[in-house]
Structure 1
C-alpha cells in the first residue's frame, strides 16, 4: 500500500475530503520527524513507539580500497510496535500463505 492508497482508504472510511486527509498525514509525518530529530520519542498507545536508537562507534571497512574507516556514534530512527499491534498482525496473517512459496 502506498501513501495515496492510504489517503483514499481513510477518506472513504471517514468521509473527510482527501485534501484534508493528505494535509493531516503530512503534518503527522513532519511532527514525527521533528520530534525524533530533537531526541523526543513518540508513544502511541495500542499502536507503537517511534524511537531513536543509539549506534555505537565502530570500525568499518572500505572494501574497494581495503582501508579501515571509523564510523562515529550516531542515532537512527526506529519503530517498535505495541503488543496489541503485533498480536493483531499475527492473527490476521496466520491463515495467509506467502506468494513466493
Structure 2
C-alpha cells in the first residue's frame, strides 16, 4: 500500500489542478494507529485527502468553503479504525499493524 500510495502521489503531483479545484493528496489508511498518531487537523485549503486501503479508496473529507466545521482527516481515520474488526484494530493498536 505504501509503495502504491507513493506512486499515486507522484502521479497526482504531475497533474495540474484547474484553478479553483482542490488538489488530491494520497496517504495509506490502516498502517498506523489513528488513536496514538499525531492528529492531522483540518484539511488544508485546496487539498482533498485520498486514503488507500488494499483495493479500496476513500476520498475526503472535502475541504470546507471557509465556513465552520471543515472536515478533519484525523477524525475520519479514527472512525475508520473504530469500525474495523477486533483483530485488525488490535494489530494497529498494539503496534503490529
| Bigger helix fraction | 1
| Bigger strand fraction | 1
Do they superpose with TM above 0.5? Answer: no
| TM-score relative to the length of structure 2 | 0.28
| TM-score relative to the length of structure 1 | 0.28
Instruction: Using CA pairs under 8 Å that are at least 6 residues apart, name the structure with larger relative contact order, 1 or 2.
Output: 2
Larger radius of gyration between Structure 1 and Structure 2: 1
